[in-house]
Amino acid sequence: MSKTLLITGGASGIGAETARRAGARGYRVAINYRSRDAQAKAVVADIEAAGGRAIALPGDMAREADIVRLFDEAERALGPITHLVNSAGIDPSRGRIDEYEREVITNLFAVNVIGLMLCCREATRRMSSRHGGKGGAIVNVSSMAATLGGRRGASAYAATKGAVDAFTKGFAREVAAEGIRVNAIRPGPVMTEMTEGRLNEPGVLAAVAASLPIKRIGEAHEIADAILWLLSDEASFITGAMLDASGGGYII
């Protein structure tokens, strides 16, 4: 069976590493991005240089029309979508609740939650046996922040990931009998483009590493390999699960 994987937020970080490794495993890969055009095309070039097939497709996860177009264009170019990784996400500057601005919170939920849910909707319309599809697998990228409310100043971000977890569990039950498996992965601290600015502040990297039982920050490829396992037939009896890829969680 041919495998077509759509990855939102696939131009950088965990999404990009998942795309490269998926291409090497025989997936045809559609890489979505919002503004990282050069990076997305570089990931495509890496996949094609290794003998794989990939395309880069722009689209803003806060815009429903972009999401629908993204799925349509991916299928026209690569064939029916069989796998989806919802990796797109934003983590705005940190602050307490008394510092929140409505516009920031609205956009945070629009990208991290509503956009993800709409992607799952579009995938279901294509994958579900109820709609004539042949099934598929979806992985939603959550965060360990969902389990404890995040580190200081990250309560809003943590709330979006808590919503992702709750949605994943309910959604998985809704479509399990229709051939679709849905799971979430909850990374702990991982060095990516989104986190490196904060982690590279003096003393922060060492402090965060010390708060983990494994005593180090994760690497993007470690999360990517776990995502690809959840997508694979090796995880064929797993749906509605939350996989913590976190170095043991937090030391409380």
User: What integer pLDDT is reported at residue 194 of this predicted model?
Assistant: 66
pLDDT at position 93 over 80: no
For the stretch 117-139, pLDDT in tens is: 999 999 999 999 999 999 999 99
For the stretch 33-80, pLDDT in tens is: 999 999 999 999 999 999 999 999 999 999 999 999 999 999 999 999
Q: How far apart are CA 48 and CA 24, in angstroms?
A: 9
User: What integer pLDDT is reported at residue 1 of this predicted model?
Assistant: 66
Q: What element of type H or E holds 56?
A: strand 53-58
Residue 73 lies in a domain: yes
User: What integer pLDDT is reported at residue 146 of this predicted model?
Assistant: 95
For the stretch 140-184, pLDDT in tens is: 999 999 998 988 888 999 999 999 999 999 999 999 999 999 999
pTM, full prediction = 0.94
Per-residue buried b or exposed e for 177-206, using 16+ beta carbons within 10 Å of the residue's own CB: eeebbbbbbbbbbbbbebbeebbeeeeebe
Residue 104: both structure tokens together: 């920031």
pLDDT at position 204 over 90: no
| Active-site option among 27, 100, 157, 250 | 157
Residue 28 lies in a domain: yes
220 phi-psi bin (left φ>0, alpha ψ -120 to 50, beta other): alpha
157 part of the active site: yes
Residue 163 lies in a domain: yes
109-118, 122-131, 199-208: segment of lowest average pLDDT = 199-208
Residue 158: both structure tokens together: 């943590």
Residue 250 lies in a domain: no
pLDDT at position 197 over 70: no
Residue 183 lies in a domain: yes
Q: How far apart are CA 12 and CA 20, in angstroms?
A: 11
Helix axes 37-49, 13-24, angle to 10 degrees: 20
Residue 175 lies in a domain: yes
Q: What element of type H or E holds 57?
A: strand 53-58
User: What integer pLDDT is reported at residue 195 of this predicted model?
Assistant: 66
Residue scoring higher pLDDT (250 or 93): 250
Residue 113 lies in a domain: yes
The structure tokens 């609205």 sit at 106
- Domain around 93: 4-189+219-245
Residue 105: both structure tokens together: 């919170």
Per-residue buried b or exposed e for 80-90, using 16+ beta carbons within 10 Å of the residue's own CB: ebbbbbbbbbb
- CATH number at 235 reads 3.40.50.720
User: What integer pLDDT is reported at residue 95 of this predicted model?
Assistant: 83
pLDDT at position 187 over 70: yes
Residue scoring higher pLDDT (243 or 252): 243
Number of domains comprising the chain: 1
Residue 214 lies in a domain: no
Q: How far apart are CA 54 and CA 21, in angstroms?
A: 12
Vertex 220, ends 63 and 10: CA angle to 5°? 25
Cβ atoms of 46 and 22 within 8 Å: the answer is no
Q: How far apart are CA 227 and CA 181, in angstroms?
A: 13
